[in-house]
Amino acid sequence: MEKNNASYETLFVVDLTPGEEAMRAVIEKFTTLIADNGTVTEVNEWGKRKLAYPINDMNEGYYVLVKFTAPTAFPAELERVFNITDGIMRSIVVAQES
């Protein structure tokens, strides 16, 4: 079966409350998951930023942008894992134009 790859980028916001070590573990988990299912082209950590509006009574989060190529079925799985992972405040996966 042929795999159709496409370019994507994901931006996710990590909760800072559990501490630096837990935050790094969440970032590592997702960069590894993406690398295992596709090819990471860029990881850009924007760092700690003030949120536009409070999420779960928190005003700051750690932003990470990852650009990657992967099979077209992978983004749905990535979003599912984002939704069930503690420590992810918000996330989005966007397909890039070719």
CATH assignment of the domain containing 31: 3.30.70.60
Give percent of the chain above pLDDT 70: 96
What pLDDT does 97 receive?
Answer: 81
Domain count, the chain: 1
Q: Which helix (H) or strand (E) holds 38?
A: none
pTM given for the model: 0.91
Cα(38)–Cα(51) distance, integer angstroms: 30
List pLDDT tens digits, range 20-48: 999 999 999 999 999 999 999 999 999 99
User: To the nearest whole number, what is the mean pLDDT of the chain?
Assistant: 93
Look at residues 50, 38, 42 and name the one whose alpha carbon lies nearest to residue 13. 50
Query: Residue 35: which domain range?
Result: 5-95
Residue 4 — pLDDT band, cuts 50, 70, 90? Answer: confident
